Amino acid sequence: MRSPQYDILFEPVRIGPLKAKNRFYQVPHCNGMGHRAPSGMAGMRRVKAEGGWAVVCTEVCEIHPSADISPHSEARLWDDRDIPALARAADAIHEFGALAGVELGHHGFRAQNRTSREVPMGPSSHTVVSYDPVQSRAMDKEDIRNIRRWHVAAARRAKRAGFDLIYVYAAHGLVTPMQFLSRRYNQRTDEYGGPLENRVRLLRELIVDTKDAVGATCAVPVRICIDELVGPNGLCAEDEGRDVIEMLADLPDLWDVTVGDWSNDSRPSRFGGEGVHEQYVAHVKAVTGKPVVGVGRFTSPDAMVSQVRRGVLDMIGAARPSIADPFLPKKVEEGRIDDIRECIGCNICAASDNTYTPIRCTQNPTMGEEWRRNWHPERVPPRESKDRILVIGAGPAGLECAMTLGKRGYEVGLAEAATELGGRVAREAKLPGLSAWGRVRDYRVGQLHQLPNVSIFLDSKMSAQDILEAEFDRVVLAVGSSWRRDGVARYHRVPPQTLDDTRIFTPDDIMAGAQIEGPVAIYDDDHYYMGGAMAEMLRQRGLEVTLVTPAPLVSNWAVNTLEQPKIQSRLLELGVSIRANEALVAFGEQHAELACVFTGRRQTIPAASVLMVTSRLSRTDLQHDLLSSAALWQDARIKSVTSIGDCLAPGTIAQAVFGGHRYAREFEVPPSESVPFQREIAALGDWPS
């Protein structure tokens, strides 16, 4: 059972007319499923409730067609026809005794309305948040009355759907009440603009309206940004941010406090540790008698207890930690702290929403698959046979595969050529800012050590002959990939002919300790985190560094993980020179030649060395050797050889973990003859008469 020091986390908390059974609160978070995949969304929330969260909330829920933020797939309560989809989520959450929350929202001028084709509107006329060539119109008094009316109608629908907590959402700069609050968005001169007392008017009205509509049996929380992190042009925690809380004090039933926009509220681990928001939110409880919930990528129960005992928060809010481990509360309650699958703050979950796909997680390969594939994060099917399985390679795919097979009951051998477990994770966790990513290795190693049916062999490089003599029935290859040094990736589909490869390095070389001479040209045609991390590390060593990329931004794909602006800012602050929209086309004689990706115009820059961060090659030699020996498999009792993870196809760490988990979970389970997961099929509408 749990340690008494954690008892405080399991005290009930009164929220308006309701009582939460403990202090664990899954705050609203996007998931890429929403109204397009309501069963998938409900299945995911259901597992959170099963895992012990006292409150489980939806993502933002659009209240009207003029709040349309497609192609993002959020929840919707545009009219009564949306109620059944949301009711499925509420019912699923209630199944395990959790309170169900819905985050009603209108996106104001940030709603592009690409599907509804409504004209965007906000407190003042602004360009929409995307690069769409569209502007909003300034709302008139009738528009404001409509917003209030739509919000009440959606609140009543939410109550009919079975929700217990019905939000008024005023955070992240995304929604109309926040846009009215912020000086940088609200340039009105009427009673809804100017001094803070006027700018807070709409938020006050929405709270009162919502409580009047549903408050007898439902709680009405407010999610608010306490500091926009933009200085005097926006709300600041020490002045107007605090003033708003004081003005509304005990009007809502709970304060859900956030900091900055989404990229700051879900701060990547590279740019902020656990509890990073405390300095901004610590004063809130001093000015309200209502419970306060906040986030901070909390994964340590000790940090959670500290927040509560010191009066910072009443409830521990979580989005990403609840994704990485839906059973986090249950594990704390049962005293299984070492079994917590800690969030690494990589924001692959956010990338799913930003790429309009169902949610996924580096740490938790079952995330988003609860309904689609009937995968549970804590339960796997028992073994189907007594086959012994040899997994070769203990990177993220091999570790996940061996662990999951072991939990199913199979006898597993895990062979690793290096002297430590972890593969690419062990190496990359040593790069600047990426230490938290080591949790991918640490969790799985900890679980493996609890499995007596899994044997681990370090410093064991396996040849085809070794495998044939090992007496295993199945062989799984998870030997990873290597970075290319020939420049081939997106821009160059074949190697350039004018590269002096005697002074070309790869990230593998640098992580293995190779010494590199400056000035260094880093050619990043990978566009995720590696190019920026390499530039930061080499610059910290005192080398002159130029990062060259054919993309318009450094680490361009990291826009999806909310990291890109911070990566580029850090590199600029470190003095890294950035050459965007240019490709490396030649290297030799102490200079690199670059070509503009649009015009082909060439320029040279000084470079004693080039670091290629382009693409990777799967390590396939062992597979080829085994296939060449296929005639000997039967005598060696080998039934199958399968490649997984990066040695099948290089990808993200999340994809490698998923590949390892999928093989292990589906091993000896009869495959589907059609689509390997359930799909949500849209109903056909009636033809117009």
Q: Does domain 486-616 have CATH number 3.40.50.300?
A: no
Mean pLDDT of 527-545: 98
AA letter at 180: F
Mean pLDDT of 524-543: 98
Q: Could you tell me the two tokens for 573?
A: 């602050």
Residue 64 CA to chain centroid, in angstroms? 27
**Cβ count within 10 A of residue 587:** 25
Give the separation between CA 399 and CA 538, rounded to whole angstroms. Answer: 30
Give the separation between CA 68 and CA 130, rounded to whole angstroms. Answer: 13
The pTM score is: 0.96
Q: Could you tell me the two tokens for 268?
A: 């990547």
Terminal-to-terminal C-alpha distance of the chain:
65
Span 462-485, pLDDT tens digits: 999 999 999 999 999 999 999 999
Give the separation between CA 405 and CA 408, rounded to whole angstroms. Answer: 5
Give the separation between CA 610 and CA 517, rounded to whole angstroms. Answer: 9
Residue 689 has pLDDT above 80, yes or no: no
Span 604-638, pLDDT tens digits: 999 999 999 999 999 999 999 999 999 999 999 99
Q: Could you tell me the two tokens for 119?
A: 């004209």
Give the separation between CA 361 and CA 349, rounded to whole angstroms. Answer: 5
Quick one: what percent of the chain has pLDDT higher than 90? 91
Look at the chain and count its residues.
689
Give the separation between CA 364 and CA 659, rounded to whole angstroms. Answer: 12
Q: What is the DSSP letter of 319?
A: S
Mean pLDDT of 202-228: 96
Mean pLDDT of 533-560: 98
Per-residue confidence band for 403, with pLDDT thresholds at 50, 70 and 90: very high
Q: CA dist 238 to 267, 279, 288, 289, Å?
A: 21, 10, 16, 19
CB 297 within 8 A of CB 363: no
CB 288 within 8 A of CB 584: no
- What stretch of H or E contains 328? helix 328-333
Residue 161 has pLDDT above 80, yes or no: yes
What local confidence, expressed as pLDDT, does residue 673 receive? 76
Residue 10 has pLDDT above 90, yes or no: yes
**Cβ count within 10 A of residue 640:** 12
Residue 130 has pLDDT above 80, yes or no: no
For the chain, give the mean pLDDT: 96
CATH of span 388-480+619-666? 3.40.50.720
| CB environment 263-290: b (16+ within 10 A), e (fewer) | bbbbbbbbbbebbbbbebbbbbbebbeb
Mean pLDDT of 87-116: 96
Residue 686 has pLDDT above 90, yes or no: no
Same fold, 4-354 and 388-480+619-666: no
Q: Where are the beta strands (DSSP E) in 410-552?
A: 411-415, 454-457, 474-477, 481-483, 504-505, 520-524, 545-549
User: Based on the number of CB atoms within 10 Å of its own CB, is 88 exposed (0-12), middle (13-18) or buried (19 or more)?
Assistant: buried
CB 396 within 8 A of CB 655: no
Q: Could you tell me the two tokens for 321?
A: 């930690």
What local confidence, expressed as pLDDT, does residue 500 receive? 85
Span 255-271, pLDDT tens digits: 999 999 988 889 999 99
Give the separation between CA 211 and CA 115, rounded to whole angstroms. Answer: 31
Mean pLDDT of 77-83: 97
What local confidence, expressed as pLDDT, does residue 671 receive? 80
Q: Where are the beta strands (DSSP E) in 353-436?
A: 388-392, 411-415
Please state whether beta strands 640-643 and 474-477 pair in parallel, antiparallel, or not at all (unpaired).
parallel
What local confidence, expressed as pLDDT, does residue 418 receive? 97
What local confidence, expressed as pLDDT, does residue 34 receive? 95
Mean pLDDT of 143-158: 98
CB 549 within 8 A of CB 525: yes
Listed by start position, the domains of the chain span 4-354, 388-480+619-666, 486-616
For 404, half-sphere exposure in the C-beta direction (CA atoms, 13 angstrom radius) is 27
Per-residue confidence band for 6, with pLDDT thresholds at 50, 70 and 90: very high
Residue 37 CA to chain centroid, in angstroms? 18
- Residues assigned a catalytic role: 30, 169, 172, 265
User: Based on the number of CB atoms within 10 Å of its own CB, is 138 exposed (0-12), middle (13-18) or buried (19 or more)?
Assistant: middle
Residue 688 has pLDDT above 90, yes or no: no
Span 497-514, pLDDT tens digits: 889 888 999 999 999 999
What local confidence, expressed as pLDDT, does residue 501 receive? 84
What local confidence, expressed as pLDDT, does residue 173 receive? 79
Give the separation between CA 444 and CA 336, rounded to whole angstroms. Answer: 15
Among residues 179, 7, 165, 17, the alpha carbon closest in space to that of 100 is found at 165
Residue 104 has pLDDT above 80, yes or no: yes
Give the separation between CA 657 and CA 397, rounded to whole angstroms. Answer: 5
User: Based on the number of CB atoms within 10 Å of its own CB, is 146 exposed (0-12), middle (13-18) or buried (19 or more)?
Assistant: middle
Q: Could you tell me the two tokens for 6?
A: 């954690």
Give the separation between CA 234 and CA 261, rounded to whole angstroms. Answer: 12
CB 350 within 8 A of CB 262: yes
For 64, half-sphere exposure in the C-beta direction (CA atoms, 13 angstrom radius) is 21
What local confidence, expressed as pLDDT, does residue 162 receive? 98
SS3 590: coil
Q: CA dist 212 to 62, 205, 217, Å?
A: 20, 10, 11
Q: Could you tell me the two tokens for 452?
A: 């007596």
Mean pLDDT of 115-126: 94
Q: Write a three-state SS string for 458-486.
A: CCCCCCHHHHHCCCCCEEEECCCEEECCC
Correct CATH for 4-354 of 2.40.160.10, 3.20.20.70, 3.40.50.720, 3.30.70.100: 3.20.20.70
Per-residue confidence band for 68, with pLDDT thresholds at 50, 70 and 90: very high
What local confidence, expressed as pLDDT, does residue 685 receive? 84
What local confidence, expressed as pLDDT, does residue 234 receive? 86
Per-residue confidence band for 215, with pLDDT thresholds at 50, 70 and 90: confident
Quick one: what percent of the chain has pLDDT higher than 70? 100
Q: Could you tell me the two tokens for 667?
A: 């091993």
Per-residue confidence band for 520, with pLDDT thresholds at 50, 70 and 90: very high
Give the separation between CA 313 and CA 414, rounded to whole angstroms. Answer: 44
SS3 629: coil
What local confidence, expressed as pLDDT, does residue 491 receive? 96
Residue 11 has pLDDT above 80, yes or no: yes
Sign of CA dihedral 605, 608, 613, 614: positive
Give the separation between CA 233 and CA 228, rounded to whole angstroms. Answer: 9
Residue 129 has pLDDT above 80, yes or no: no
DSSP one-letter string for 109-148: GG---TTT-PPPEESS--B-SSS-S-BPEEP-HHHHHHHH
CB 99 within 8 A of CB 54: yes
Per-residue confidence band for 233, with pLDDT thresholds at 50, 70 and 90: confident
Residue 424 has pLDDT above 80, yes or no: yes
Give the separation between CA 144 and CA 613, rounded to whole angstroms. Answer: 51
Dihedral in degrees, nearest 10, Cα atoms 635, 403, 642, 394: -100
Q: Where are the beta strands (DSSP E) in 638-679?
A: 640-643
